[in-house]
Chains A and B, each alone.
Chain A
């Protein structure tokens, strides 16, 4: 199975900050990676597919980069509604595997 290592597990930030979250795969997954935002009691919300493409309707302050093994989610100018948990998912092969999640908390 492909292991996904996501870091950090949590971070504290302020509105307006730039936030960066990383995921590293245990093997080359090309760009078969997505990012989702999760809030308590809500369905995870799609953000990024194929490592760097925004799903329709996702605001441009979210961006993704990387390929192969190393991937990054960046939120420029953090907004109040962005405080949530973010996770990466590799869909290169089954079983899908996930990063452990990053909780973005208010400083």
Chain B
């Protein structure tokens, strides 16, 4: 199970930290991604982090504003969002990414959470 939290109404230029609490499988074995969906729009990948947290990737539109991180001791994924813009308004999902062992993909993206709503508005 993946359970997102932390979404809220925030003013443009503000900050927010999203969390994704994981249970039911070994969190530290998997990479994770954040994906968002703006109202009436399609799905948009935001960021990903490796199983050990040493490697991360970002969509161009969030570079330098968002930071993905994880706490493997707490089975929790985070997305720190700063300098928020109106266009960041969306439902934010965390998604379980693949598991890679010694360069071989063992499992593939599968579970998603239900999402947490971020609204950026003055």
Q: Chain A: residues with CB nearer than 8 A to chain B?
A: 34, 36, 41-44, 46, 49-50, 55, 87, 89, 91, 94-101
Given contacts A55-B110, A94-B48, A87 and B43 within 8 Å (CB-CB): yes
Given contacts A49-B109, A89-B109, A101-B42, A96 and B114 within 8 Å (CB-CB): no
Contact B114 A42 (CB under 8 A): yes
Chain A residues, Cβ within 8 Å of B77: none
Enumerate 28 A-B pairs (CB-CB under 8 Å) in ascending A order. A34-B110, A41-B114, A42-B114, A43-B93, A43-B112, A43-B113, A43-B114, A43-B115, A44-B112, A46-B109, A46-B110, A49-B110, A55-B110, A87-B42, A91-B97, A91-B109, A94-B45, A94-B48, A95-B57, A95-B59, A96-B48, A96-B109, A97-B45, A98-B43, A98-B44, A99-B42, A101-B42, A101-B43
Give A87's nearest chain B residue, CB to CB.
B43
Chain B residues, Cβ within 8 Å of A96: 33, 35, 45, 48, 109
Q: CB within 8 Å of A: which of B58-112? A: 59-60, 93, 97-98, 108-112
| B interface, size bucket | 20 to 34
Indicate whether B18 reaches chain A with its CB closer than 8 angstroms.
no
Tell me the interface secondary structure of chain A in the complex.
loop
Quick one: which of A36, A41, A94, A96 has the most chain B CB within 10 A? A96
Indicate whether B2 reaches chain A with its CB closer than 8 angstroms.
yes
Chain A residues, Cβ within 8 Å of B57: 94-95
Contact A49 B45 (CB under 8 A): no
